[in-house]
Amino acid sequence: MNKTFSGFFSICKPSDISTYDLIRTIKKKTGIKKLGHAGTLDPFAEGVVIILVGQMTRIFDFFSFLPKTYRAFAEFGKRTDSLDITGKIVETALPPDIDTIKKNIDSFKGTISQRPPAYSAVHVNGIRAYELARKGIEPDLKEKTITIHSIDINSYQDNILDFEITCSSGTYIRSIADDLAKKCNSVAYLTKLIRKSIGGFLLDNAIEIDEISLESLIPPREGLNILNIPVFTADNDIASKIINGKNIINESIKAENYPDKVISFFTENNSFLALVDNRNCMMKYIFVSSDRDIL
């Protein structure tokens, strides 16, 4: 019975639990076994987390292209080893004034290089960086390219900067706060982090943990629409060809009549059939539903 469930859970993760704690809670509440995530949040952080269910666990890669928006709170004048509130204070400095912060914050907009924090899940020679950091070993972390679409100050009071940032996947907001402080000749660490959106999945529409149920599962068709993946309905004849991985291009199905992008097909009774790459009119299967009972 569990194999029939596919879709998305959009959940507001509270602070002090991990994304994997959230997955275990969903399994316990719903009995669904096939679950994945579309990107983790640090335990200290809160906000929207997308849990993928059933067939939708296979579209994880599509979330890596979506921008993410965060609201962050950074305290200037102190720095912790983890760059967040869970670490111990290892350095202090005079906090900057707001004019200094304003002068430097715009330099983060656009495409920049960022070095992940030592306390991160990045692999270094097969070992998680945070495992090395906990042993007092400084991990050799390479810079990577990220994009900051926008970064705006909400307020600066009592040395705490409240700011909002929209960025590419893989951006470490802890490192943004740390690097900004360095540009201001100071130090800083995050006291709070809230993820407000992942693409079209908004925190305002996310459910709380106590609302998790099979009824709160977002159906594949609705979730793919949120991801801006066009959805098309196949008649029984075409659906039979799709489920068996056969070529569907014929007199009635012409690739040039469909968007030049990744698209999806569903049966007439709204069951997910396949994800198809139609860029350059290829109409090539990315993956086909493994559920043969949908026809």
**Which residues form the catalytic set?**
42
Which tokens go with 18? 């991990």
The Cα 155–Cα 174 span in angstroms is 18
Q: Which residues pair with 265 in a beta bridge?
A: 232, 274
Rg (the chain; Cα; Å): 22
The Cα 146–Cα 171 span in angstroms is 6
Which tokens go with 234? 């196949």
The answer to whether the beta carbons of residues 202 and 195 sit under 8 Å apart is no
Q: Which of 31, 32, 30 is nearest to 55 (CA)?
A: 32
Which tokens go with 114? 């960022």
The Cα 168–Cα 175 span in angstroms is 14
The answer to whether the beta carbons of residues 40 and 18 sit under 8 Å apart is yes
> Which of helix, strand or coil describes residue 243?
helix
